[in-house]
Amino acid sequence: QITLKESGPTLVKPTQTLTLTCTFSGFSLSTSGVGVGWIRQPPGKALEWLALIYWDDDKRYSPSLKSRLTITKDSSKNQVVLTMTDMDPVDTGTYYCAHSVRARTDVWGKGTTVTVSS
Amino acid sequence: EIVMTQSPATLSVSPGERATLSCRASQSVSSNLAWYQQKPGQAPRLLIYGASTRATDIPPTFSGSGSGTEFTLTISSLQSEDFAVYYCHQYNNGYTFGQGTKLEIK
């Protein structure tokens, strides 16, 4: 059974850097075709795709947020980390990590809520 | 970046009736299109991938069709648990979501 869980701060101040960790089980990020991605959702709004890292360390980013995002993996620890710099109140929302196979996203974590406020 | 446009924004349908949701891509995404269902306070759930393949444990009341730039999600006979927000998602060239369709009880 594939499971993913997001963790990180619930509150960050404007201009700070957000670091989120996705800890997963039930699959290996060393398996060909497998990836882990991040998606976010502002309160009451639509989903927004952020970033994805593949088993071979190929990394993909949202074009509009690329300059602020970094995604890394530690396959031995079954973890993927997303950092987002220069946080702003508009970045408030729920952040999800999700399992991906051959580019399609199938299993999601429950999400973690991040509020950006001074 | 490929833009995904869903219509309508809100769809009101009576239980037992059929619902048809649309998703249009700004350029071809081949069949690399998924549909998700999201209920309040929950993470999205994968319903359809490859435009028409149902995900594991998804009942046959859900069906997807289309290719290229025009896609449809059909729910053949609405149950109370089907009222939710539905998102389309392309993973052919980059990755983008539509803005969602809220399916509400009429």
Beta-bridged to residue A79, according to DSSP, are A23, A74
- Asked whether the beta carbons of residue B96 and residue A109 sit closer than 8 angstroms, the reply is no
Side chain identity, residue B7: S
> Does A115 reach chain B within 8 Å, measured CB to CB?
no
Strand order in the sheet with A18-25: A3-7, A18-25, A79-84, A69-74
State how far the Cα of B63 lies from the Cα of B68, in Å rounded to an integer: 17
Would you state the pLDDT for residue A2? 97
Q: Does A95 touch chain B (CB under 8 A)?
A: no
Tell me how close the Cα of A97 comes to any Cα of chain B, in angstroms.
10
User: pLDDT tens digits for chain B (106 residues)?
Assistant: 999 999 999 999 999 999 999 999 999 999 999 999 999 999 999 999 999 999 999 999 999 999 999 999 999 999 999 999 999 999 999 999 999 999 999 9
Tokens of A92: 């408030």
Contact A6, A112 (CB under 8 A): yes
| DSSP secondary structure string for all residues of A92-107 | -EEEEEEEEETTEEEE
**Res A75: pLDDT:** 87
To which H or E segment does residue B70 belong? strand B70-75
B45 CA to chain A: closest CA distance, Å?
Answer: 7
| Residue contacts between A and B (CB atoms, under 8 Å) | 53
pLDDT at A58: 96
> Is the previous residue joined to B8 through a cis bond, with omega within 30 degrees of 0?
yes
pLDDT value of residue A102: 86
- Identify any residues that bridge with B62 across adjacent strands, giving them in sequence order: B75
Are B28 and B4 spatial neighbours (Cβ–Cβ below 8 Å)? no
Residues in chain A with pLDDT < 70?
A: none
Asked if the C-beta of A101 comes within 8 angstroms of chain B's C-beta atoms, the answer is no
Q: Across chain A, what does the average pLDDT equal?
A: 97
Structure confidence at residue A103 (pLDDT): 85
Distance from CA of A98 to the nearest CA of B (A): 10
B 31-90 near A (Cβ less than 8 A): 32, 34, 36, 38, 42-46, 49-50, 55, 87, 89
If you measure CA to CA, which chain B residue comes closest to A48? B97
